[in-house]
Amino acid sequence: MTIDTIPTQITPATPDLSGMQLVYQAPEALADTQTHYCPGCTHGIIHRLIAEVIDELGVRERTIGVAPVGCAVFAYEYFNFDGTEAAHGRAPAMATGIKRVAPDKIVFTYQGDGDIASIGGNEILAACVRGEKITVIFVNNAVYGMTGGQMAPTTPPGMVTTSSPLGRDVELQGYPIHLTEMLAMMPGVAYAARRSMHSVAEIKRAKKSIRKAFEAQLQGLGLGIVEILSACPINWRLDPSNALDFIRHTMLPVYPLGEFKVHEALQKR
């Protein structure tokens, strides 16, 4: 068959939508594109929650996102608003630069656990000290995902990774960091919570927390941070369903969920 013989007009059957009501659609703030995330990874859900919140708050046209180095390095491609990509761990400093020169913009960082809790520890700490009016989405999957599953500061004790082949030994490699609880103690932080992607109920709670973290910025209250426990089936060597169970049984005992800091202006709602 030559090219010429391929039918050039293909008319798909148009469904009859009369009498139907649109109840669910992709958020405008989410780019209509494929992501590079692995099967069973929950980054995509977190992206969608952020996009839904941005739409609900009506701030898409003045939002600027800052992607990290790590699995979410291409996050700026997946949102339908302005975005950039920081050096490893430096997103809070970059977001500070943007917010300080453009205070009318809604600025958020999207960072993994290695990015924010290890190499970028000082940048997030300083942003909280200053009470920067930015929002931080902190995705904790307990490993360095992009480089192939090495031990992170968030890796639970005993967990086998490619750089802790005998399991994380706290005597040698220290204890998992509870960054969000630490930051919640700081006066510059207006909202701090930890949520998880392991169940529908938790996903709904995560969205509420993301919304509050953005509202903290909109109201000029201070920095809002949401840590989200996220599945990494490929690097955990688990199928997607067992990866959610890993969050339930191994991560939750180390990382309790909940709100650690809620500014009173956010409580009145």
Min separation Cβ 83 and another protein, Å = 5
Half-sphere exposure of 244 (CA within 13 A, CB side): 11
**How, if at all, do strands 223-229 and 82-85 pair?**
unpaired
Beta bridge partners of residue 106, listed in sequence order: 63
Q: Which helix (H) or strand (E) holds 108?
A: strand 106-112
Min separation Cβ 210 and another protein, Å = 20
**How, if at all, do strands 135-140 and 106-112 pair?**
parallel
Min separation Cβ 221 and another protein, Å = 19
- Written as one letter, the residue type at 234 is I
Which residue's CB is nearer to another protein, number 193 or number 223? 223
Helix axes 121-129 and 91-101, enclosed angle (nearest 10) = 30
Closest by CA position to 148, among listed 45, 66, 237: 237
- The verdict on 105 binding another protein (CB under 8 A) reads yes
Select the span of 57-65, 147-155, 188-196, 198-206 touching another protein (CB under 8 A).
57-65
Among 46, 50, 53, 66, binds another protein (CB under 8 A): 66
Closest by CA position to 47, among listed 63, 27, 17, 62: 27
- The verdict on 116 binding another protein (CB under 8 A) reads no
How far is Cα 117 from Cα 86, in angstroms, rounded to an integer? 15
Query: By CB under 8 A, what part of segment 83-102 binds another protein?
Result: 83-87, 90, 93-102
The contact pattern for another protein, residues 15-54, with x = CB under 8 A and - = no contact, is: ----------------x-----------------------
- The verdict on 55 binding another protein (CB under 8 A) reads no
Q: What DSSP designation does 118 have? A: I
- The verdict on 81 binding another protein (CB under 8 A) reads yes
- The verdict on 162 binding another protein (CB under 8 A) reads no
Which residue's CB is nearer to another protein, number 121 or number 167? 121
Which residue's CB is nearer to another protein, number 100 or number 204? 100
Closest by CA position to 212, among listed 151, 258, 154: 258
- The verdict on 60 binding another protein (CB under 8 A) reads yes
How far is Cα 30 from Cα 55, in angstroms, rounded to an integer? 9
Q: Which tokens belong to 223?
A: 């920095």
In this structure, what are the phi and psi dihedrals at residue 152, rounded to the nearest 5 degrees? -115, 170
Which residue's CB is nearer to another protein, number 41 or number 91? 91
Among 33, 56, 122, 256, binds another protein (CB under 8 A): 122
- The verdict on 64 binding another protein (CB under 8 A) reads yes
Among 35, 44, 48, 77, binds another protein (CB under 8 A): 77
Applying CB under 8 A, the residues found at the interface with another protein are 31, 60-64, 66-67, 73-74, 76-77, 79-87, 90, 93-102, 105, 122-123, 125-126, 129-130
